[in-house]
A and B are shown apart, each in its own frame.
Chain A
Amino acid sequence: MELETTRFGTIRIEADDIITFEDGLVGLSRYRRFVLIRHDNEGPFWWLQSAEEPSFAMLLIDPWYFCADYEVVLSDADAERLQLREETPKAVLTTVSIPSGNPHAMTANLLAPLVINTELRIGRQVILDDERYHTRHPILQEMWRSMQAVEAAS
């Protein structure tokens, strides 16, 4: 089927490309059904495009691209809602904020990642109970810190 989008024009999707966020996103509960679109073939960026509203798409990033030691520990309640077990294939992405005119100051929200059960195609934005993480991690600084930590460990 075809999906109209403001940013990407008309795209072709399969019915099972749809990912359902039963509770919507935090503070944005009106959109429930989305598709993931890769920004380009190599980079860490993705878009969560609404299947209901052509103009709604959120920029996401693979958090391990810039924070190699990022840890996501789900609460039992979140794991249950996502029907996740240890072996279930899953994806984790975090939202990206780009200050206007200053892309190098972009930040990622490591406190509230989007976790997707890729087998059942259900997703949820979870809020981690981990003091290391907050809503605005500067991505380029984290990359630098992370590279040094990896080097120090090897």
Chain B
Amino acid sequence: MLVLTRKVNQSIMIGDEIEVIVLEVRGEQVRLGIKAPRTVTVHRREIYDAIQRENLMAAQAQPEDVPAPAKKVRSAS
């Protein structure tokens, strides 16, 4: 892993198009600004991990685990 030291308002470039800027440091919290093309998705790591966990859970299900449907609320739109 590459480790760089930056001060507030300094940034790093990842390739030609992605810039990560340190906006504020307050105690243990760091605010980052990210400039990236619209096609690049940026998410907090915890969210990404949580979604991966749910995907793996959904992939563990077996047909016999699925409960019989209850009364329907409304048709899909």
Q: Which residues on A are within 8 Å of B, measured CB to CB?
A: 7-8, 25-28, 39-40, 42-45, 47, 56-60, 62, 64-66, 68, 75-77, 80-81, 95-98, 103-104, 106-107, 109, 111-112, 125, 127, 135-136, 140, 143, 146-147, 150
Q: Which single member of B52, B59, B66 contacts A26 (CB below 8 Å)?
A: B52
Interface of A is mostly: mixed
Q: How many A-B contacts at CB < 8 Å in the complex?
A: 114
CB of A58 within 8 A of CB of B55, answer yes
In the complex, B70 has a CB within 8 A of chain A = yes
Known: A95-B58, A103-B65, A106-B67. A150 touches B51 (CB 8 A): no
Chain A residues within an 8 Å CB radius of B61: 58-59, 96-98
Chain B interface size, as a band, is 20 to 34
Chain B residues within an 8 Å CB radius of A77: 38-39, 41
Q: Which single member of A45, A109, A147 contacts B54 (CB below 8 Å)?
A: A109
Chain A residues within an 8 Å CB radius of B56: 27-28
Task: Give A136 to B51 CA distance when docked, in angstroms.
Answer: 9
Known: A26-B48, A81-B39. A95 touches B74 (CB 8 A): no
